[in-house]
Amino acid sequence: MKRPKKTPARDGANPMKALLEPESVAVIGASRQTGETSLNIVENLLGYDYGGRIYPVNPKAKELLGLNVYPSIKDLPEKVDLAVLSTPRHLVPGLIRECGEAGVRVVIVVGQGFRDAKDEEGEQLHQEILQVVEETGVRVLGPNTIGSANAFLNFSTSFAKNQLERIPVGLACQTGIFLGRIHGQGLIGKGVDLGNAADIDFVDAMEYFETDPQVKVIALHIEGIPRGEKFLRTAERVSKKKPIIALKTGNSGRAAQSAMSHTGSLVGKSETWDAALKQSGVIRVQDIDELMDLAKAFAFLPLMKGKRTAIITLSGGMGIASLDALDRYGLEPAELSPETRNRLEEIAPSWFVIGNPLDIWPVMMVADAPWVDTYRMAIHTLLADPQIDGLILIGPTWMEYISPGISEIIVEASEDAKNKPVASWLYEGWLFDINDVDIELKVRSKGKGAIFPSPERAARALGRLAEYAELSGKK
Amino acid sequence: MKRPKKTPARDGANPMKALLEPESVAVIGASRQTGETSLNIVENLLGYDYGGRIYPVNPKAKELLGLNVYPSIKDLPEKVDLAVLSTPRHLVPGLIRECGEAGVRVVIVVGQGFRDAKDEEGEQLHQEILQVVEETGVRVLGPNTIGSANAFLNFSTSFAKNQLERIPVGLACQTGIFLGRIHGQGLIGKGVDLGNAADIDFVDAMEYFETDPQVKVIALHIEGIPRGEKFLRTAERVSKKKPIIALKTGNSGRAAQSAMSHTGSLVGKSETWDAALKQSGVIRVQDIDELMDLAKAFAFLPLMKGKRTAIITLSGGMGIASLDALDRYGLEPAELSPETRNRLEEIAPSWFVIGNPLDIWPVMMVADAPWVDTYRMAIHTLLADPQIDGLILIGPTWMEYISPGISEIIVEASEDAKNKPVASWLYEGWLFDINDVDIELKVRSKGKGAIFPSPERAARALGRLAEYAELSGKK
């Protein structure tokens, strides 16, 4: 990883603090347009109910949304933690210098056209930024970034409105997409878009999240890795404490070339990184779906202490699909203990095959108890079985309308399970107007249990929980 | 595939016709409970506005929801196409015989406890059913099935309400799950749950869909394959006309064992089936997500005549993730033609790298035209490029609020593309309250274009469209 980057002057503080917990933020070049489609950062911050001090900077305005507007960063009444800079590229190095001289800790450079550009000017501007960092001690996020966001403080520098969610996932990525929402799911509790990662990089992010009590799992979207050796050393240490899951893109020759022009990253050979990341304890995922699933799994489920997996289902067919997936993701179907078998035999029809997957529907239909109670009893029995390390719970969304609803059953199971993960999948539809995402948000509001978009993905999540427990020695 | 099944008497008519286009249906053992949670089949049928004649049969009632209730199947005023039977297992063979004698064409046996049971009685009842089929000529769907559904005729025998959608996907499965909805997506236009497939099986389904003008793609969920050789011969013929996509579950030893007790299926070795299915032109998928994605792709997109894929994106990072996926799914990144390059260079900033993926955002920001028009122009330019066989279109959901909205842009692109598939992915969130599924339903209502839940899955869909075009000779 040759990289003509100079070591910037550092005051020892991790720049992530200013990015994620700023007490004051300046928005340089603050837009005077407001309203829903205006993408106005200041308006967004006010809307989130961010508690810090906001300073719009714009020489052409006096007042914006009830806030004083300052002609330049030098005119602010205090040394701000953070400045957001969104200007044409040729102005950027000079403005960063002004920020540095004004005592700003970190500058977010939103604009593109630096090392991501095809021209010499872009490379030269990149070098100038590094020079300013070295000379003034200011730190830079980006360029080519949407900035930082922290749900716990109602904070985000994104020009697009974030859907913040207070979940224990810390993220560092190289595209702003991840600071938004993907497919109805907020992935992030707090995070930074590193963009070109000219200065602040994955090492800073991992070091910060390492000791952050609000973060249980670290998610990375990586195009290129600056400070490669330091990255691997840091990952090795941090991954022993908290799981690090990583989507490393730009793996084909062509993708590597594109990554070069997206964020100016030197990508490195995929195989080399594969081996290095693995050795450092990083859990490498294949795609966005897996990144989201594992963020959720590690945030909301306990680790899985072994491979023995039980499946409870109201659909025999989906039980079998899950069983196939156990094989695929390194898990084993649990053998039910005699106690579990006996308990279930008491209430099952005589012809019923008690097995794993446990297709409980026929039992529910004939048992004396209300059928939701039969389902709950069976879940409880499986979770109490010492031969079972984790459970895939399959049910229908329409059970949300029975009392207790399926969301309560999942939360109850997760509490009941204590140190065993319960990964759920709900098939949808049929009665009424509720979907799995709605139910998932209810479950998540209790902070217990996780619902996945398919039974195979529930199995994959459990597989990775078991793998990490094994590798990190947290069994 | 040893199977002690006798060939039933057949009158030559495909029993799928009675299942999917019944003009009259009897519900034997019709429930007298009504209301939203009652799972009442008759009430459901009335609610769908099914146009055929409905005959509830129940010796204990006279009238149900305004309909005459008949004491037995013999008392109906006509020979009905279809009867739905939901009774304890020991009554089933006798009631099927009554149906056969009353001239019913097909009986749906909902109940469980036949070959799926662990006891001798289950196996014996199974054999008795086959005997009745042979003796009376009646045909049987199931046992252990939720029945049949046809969105085009507002028809479903499921006790759970279906969310019908008129899409050109014909389905045969071995679990009722697929006749509902999965993750907000209606997968099915019409289909049957074969359950244990004691009589009616995949061969009947494929033969029916082969000539059904409302079906463009055939989706199968398979646990075991009765009439194995006939299945393969039929699949080989049908798959040349219409794509057949199949999720074959029960592949591990344990899963095979469970499939035995779920639907009484002999499963066969996974490797054997893998090779046989492939040779018959069946597209085997790995999981439910892939089954849904491909049903959608083949239903709504044209085949892809080559492997050369372009990617247009408002997110550089997601373009690169897509590029990785091209590699994974057998596609190649297209080289843009000189004409395409020239056209884009005219409006791009000087430092901009024109490539594939085409990260159009910086161009949109500086172009003279409204930025949505720049996006549309770039899409049009790529689709007109003779060096491009298909397009991955990446955009944000919030563009739905600009005019034209992203749903209109996707429909426009699909019309524009003519014989090239456009597979879209929308990243979510940020502004306003709309999600990708809502936008997808809008797009689907126009019957043009398809949106996938991740860029990698969009790439996978295109890869399979190219593969099928190649294998079926439809290039």
Separation in Å, CA A453 to CA A422, A427, A430, B255, B349: 14, 9, 17, 21, 41
Nearest CA in chain A to B173: A317
Q: What local confidence, expressed as pLDDT, does residue B328 receive?
A: 93
Q: Report if residue A176 sits inside a domain.
A: yes
- Residue A430 in this model has a pLDDT that exceeds 80: no
Q: Same structural domain for residues B311 and B229? A: no
Query: Cis ω on the peptide bond leading into residue A93 (within 30° of 0)?
Result: no
Point out the domain boundary residue: B259, B276, B297: B297
The CA distance from B23 to B80, in Å, is 8
- Residue B225 in this model has a pLDDT that exceeds 90: no
Give the A:B interface size as CB pairs under 8 Å: 255
Block residue for tokens 């960092």: A133
Q: Report if residue A7 sits inside a domain.
A: no
> What confidence tier does A32 reach under pLDDT thresholds 50, 70, 90?
confident
By the 8 A CB rule, do A464 and A303 touch? no
Nearest CA in chain A to B176: A315
Of A162, A317, A431, the CB nearest to B160: A431
The CA distance from A190 to A42, in Å, is 19
Q: Report if residue B250 sits inside a domain.
A: yes
Point out the domain boundary residue: A297, A332, A356: A297
> Under DSSP, is residue A168 helix (H, G, I), strand (E, B) or coil?
coil
The enclosing domain of A182 has a CATH number of: 3.40.50.261
Nearest in space to B27 (alpha carbons), one of B89, B129, B95: B95
- For B333-372, write each residue's pLDDT tens digit: 999 999 999 999 999 988 888 999 999 988 998 888 898 9
Q: Same structural domain for residues B308 and B333? A: yes
> Under DSSP, is residue B342 helix (H, G, I), strand (E, B) or coil?
helix
- For B229-272, write each residue's pLDDT tens digit: 999 999 999 999 999 999 999 876 666 666 666 666 555 666 77
- Residues of A with Cβ-Cβ distance to B89 under 8 angstroms: 351
- Angle formed by the axes of helices A228-241 and A270-279, nearest 10°: 40
Domain count, chain A: 2
> Under DSSP, is residue B422 helix (H, G, I), strand (E, B) or coil?
strand
Q: Report if residue B94 sits inside a domain.
A: yes
Between A160 and A346, residue with greater pLDDT: A346
DSSP B45-88: HHHHT--SEEEEE-TT-SEETTEE-BSSGGG-SS--SEEEE-S-
CB atoms within 10 A of CB A207: 16
Q: Same structural domain for residues A162 and A37? A: yes
Nearest CA in chain B to A359: B262
CB atoms within 10 A of CB B279: 11
Q: Same structural domain for residues B267 and B288? A: yes
Q: How far is A77 from chain B (nearest CA, A)?
A: 32
Chain A, window 155-174: residues with a beta carbon less than 8 angstroms from a chain B beta carbon: 158, 160-163, 173-174
By the 8 A CB rule, do B359 and B394 touch? no
Determine which of A386-390, A427-431, A469-473, B64-68 has the lowest per-residue pLDDT on average.
A427-431
The CA distance from A406 to A393, in Å, is 10
What values do phi and psi take at A427, rounded to 5? Answer: -85, 150
Query: Cis ω on the peptide bond leading into residue A22 (within 30° of 0)?
Result: no
The CA distance from A272 to A229, in Å, is 13
Point out the domain boundary residue: A268, A297, A326: A297
> What confidence tier does B6 reach under pLDDT thresholds 50, 70, 90?
very low
> Under DSSP, is residue B313 helix (H, G, I), strand (E, B) or coil?
strand
> What confidence tier does A398 reach under pLDDT thresholds 50, 70, 90?
confident
CB atoms within 10 A of CB B183: 22
Nearest CA in chain A to B221: A317
Cα dihedral sign for A113, A116, A118, A124?
positive
Look up residue A138 and give its two tokens. 């200011």
Q: Same structural domain for residues B435 and B329? A: yes
Q: What local confidence, expressed as pLDDT, does residue B10 receive?
A: 45
Determine which of A16-25, B25-34, B330-339 has the lowest per-residue pLDDT on average.
B25-34
- For B73-103, write each residue's pLDDT tens digit: 999 999 999 999 998 899 999 999 999 999 9
> Under DSSP, is residue B338 helix (H, G, I), strand (E, B) or coil?
helix
Q: Same structural domain for residues A382 and A431? A: yes
Cβ within 8 Å of residue B69, ≥6 positions away: B30, B56, B57, B58, B61, B62, B63
By the 8 A CB rule, do A117 and B352 touch? yes
Q: Report if residue B5 sits inside a domain.
A: no
Q: Same structural domain for residues A257 and A231? A: yes
Q: Same structural domain for residues A251 and A323? A: no
> Under DSSP, is residue B248 helix (H, G, I), strand (E, B) or coil?
strand
Block residue for tokens 């490379």: A123
Q: How far is A452 from chain B (nearest CA, A)?
A: 10
Region B6-27: mean pLDDT is: 81
- Tell me, yes or no, if A253 comes closer than 8 A to chain B by beta carbon: no
Q: How far is A470 from chain B (nearest CA, A)?
A: 24
Chain B, window 66-95: residues with a beta carbon less than 8 angstroms from a chain A beta carbon: 89
What values do phi and psi take at A395, rounded to 5? Answer: -155, 170
- Residues of A with Cβ-Cβ distance to B453 under 8 angstroms: 183, 289, 453
Q: Report if residue B38 sits inside a domain.
A: yes
Q: Report if residue B11 sits inside a domain.
A: no
Q: What local confidence, expressed as pLDDT, does residue A228 receive?
A: 87
Domain that holds residue B50: 16-297
Q: Report if residue A225 sits inside a domain.
A: yes
By the 8 A CB rule, do B369 and B401 touch? no
Nearest CA in chain A to B195: A317
Find the angle CA(B71)-CA(B73)-CA(B75) to the nearest 5 degrees. Answer: 65
Q: Same structural domain for residues B122 and B23? A: yes
ipTM of the complex: 0.89
DSSP class of A70: B
Q: What local confidence, expressed as pLDDT, does residue B2 receive?
A: 37
> What confidence tier does A258 reach under pLDDT thresholds 50, 70, 90?
low
Cβ pair A184:B435 closer than 8 A:
yes
- For B208-217, write each residue's pLDDT tens digit: 999 999 999 9
Q: Same structural domain for residues A199 and A122? A: yes
By the 8 A CB rule, do A390 and A465 touch? yes
Chain A, window 119-138: residues with a beta carbon less than 8 angstroms from a chain B beta carbon: 119, 121-122
CB atoms within 10 A of CB A91: 14
Separation in Å, CA A434 to CA A423, A440, B76, B184, B363: 20, 11, 39, 9, 41
Q: Same structural domain for residues B177 and B258? A: yes
Residue A365 CB-half CA count within 13 A? 13
Q: Same structural domain for residues B270 and B404? A: no
Q: How far is B160 from chain A (nearest CA, A)?
A: 5
